[in-house]
Structure 1
Amino acid sequence: MFQCLIDHGCEDLTSLIDIEKYSACRVAEGGFGDIWKGQLYDGTFVAVKVLRCALVVCTESEKKGLKRMMREIYAWSKLDHENAHKLLGVTMFQGRMGMVSEWMQNGNLRTYLAENPDLDHYKLCTQIATGVEYIHSIDMVHGDLKASNILVSADGVAKLTDFDYSLISDLSLLFTETTRVGGGTIRWMAPELVVETSYQRSKETDIYALGMVSVLVYISSYVESS
């Protein structure tokens, strides 16, 4: 499967990452992968999301986890926009496959709001909305938009990330697409996703989540001004 991704245009960065510069432990974790901080030989810091199971998998849950990761990589590789977190390529790390992306010094949206009370909240909301508009324009649904899935670059630009629940119409890899239903975080989910667990994520449910994110940003600005 690793070679399949390379054949479909993902760059193999294994030889470009300094194995001596990985963080001593994971810095964050997701649904099926752990995030490590790494560094390229040219000094560029990167984030590496590593699948928890090895490529040689045995259990059905491990196979599903690998399939989810492959779908996320494929969807992520389609994105090229200032407000979408950039996938640089893929790598092998301790016998496991990883996704290599830009390192976001300011962390996620919630952390950024707490540490930067004087930021331009309107500009931040506009950037997030622009990112959502972009992925919808290429017929992609994010599916899990929330504060922890929005990162902020060193120069204060919001970027959508974590496309584990994403849906994309052009899925041409050599494995079938699995419809993602259920899961998610209730606070950010449209009511129909909460009431009906078999309801499909859509652009409309993304817009609801965008509204909830905007409320968070607005409340942050109100609290600070008070």
Structure 2
Amino acid sequence: MTTPSNTFVINADEVEIDRNTLLGQGGFGDVYRGSWGGHTVAIKVLLRGIPPKLLQQEVAVWQSLRHPNILEFYGYNSSSDPLFLVSAHKQKGDAREFFDLNPEASRPKLLYEASLGLQHLHRHSVIHGDLKGCNILVDERGTACLSDFGLSRVRELSQSNSVRSMRDKPGGTFPWMAPECMVGATLGNKMSDVYSFGMTIYEVSF
């Protein structure tokens, strides 16, 4: 598949979104299976109200984070309604789904790969902010990739306006959230990401 060397704009008429195949939900939109250029992709349809300029800044961060354990980004659209992001589609689903279907698969291996992805984010001063089993995707080779971190800056900068969704909670999702995030002391940092990763280890180990 053609992938961009710079932030890549995808026109709305270039993609097909399968609204009947919901892959996941997040605080800023829903992820559907779709197609682009004859390939199966994941398309995150964003909620209304996210400023396009803010989206473009965040997209630039995601596009620069090339790593085997980071979900590959293909492009975005900021000129149509709704806005959307296009990324790789991981055929084995998320970590929880993968282990449900493959109980003998190595949990330490997958978690180690996820930790490498998290380390890469932190080296580039990017906070995931919502790390949990359903945000660790698994490709056809059984390799882990972190997802749903790309809107971390959007989340932080939009707390005081209408973009904040009722589905979004500062600092992540409560069962995985560090105590300091629960009380509103921080929206998230490297230490809270590590706490969430520890909760994710517990989540997928049983």
What SS is found at the alignment partner of 2:145?
strand
Describe the superposition over 1:145-164 as per-residue Cα deviations: whole angstroms up to 9, x where unpaired.
11111111111111111125
Deviation at 1:217, TM superposition (A): 2.7
Matched-pair contact (CA < 8 Å) for 2:94–2:138 = yes
Letter in 1 for 2:157: T
Matched-pair contact (CA < 8 Å) for 2:7–2:63 = yes
> Which entry has the higher C-alpha Rg, 1 or 2?
1
Is residue 48 of structure 2 the alignment partner of residue 48 of structure 1? no
Map of 1:206 onto structure 2: 193
Q: What's the % identity of the aligned pairs?
A: 31
Q: 1:17 aligns with which of 14, 25, 45?
A: 14
Describe the superposition over 1:121-165 as per-residue Cα deviations: whole angstroms up to 9, x where unpaired.
111111011111111111111111111111111111111111255
Q: 1:33 aligns with which of 4, 29, 32?
A: 29
Is residue 177 of structure 2 the alignment partner of residue 193 of structure 1? no
RMSD: 2.9
Q: 1:142 aligns with which of 116, 122, 128?
A: 128
Map of 2:172 onto structure 1: 184
Matched-pair contact (CA < 8 Å) for 2:34–2:40 = yes
- TM-score, L = length of structure 2: 0.80
Matched residues in 1 for 2:54 and 2:98: separation?
Answer: 29
Of structures 1 and 2, the one with the larger relative CO (CA 8 A, separation 6+) is: 2
| Between 128-137 and 22-31, the greater mean CA deviation after superposition | 22-31
What SS is found at the alignment partner of 1:25?
strand
Is residue 104 of structure 2 the alignment partner of residue 107 of structure 1? no
Matched-pair contact (CA < 8 Å) for 2:135–2:148 = yes
Aligned pairs, number? 192
Matched residues in 1 for 2:113 and 2:69: separation?
Answer: 6
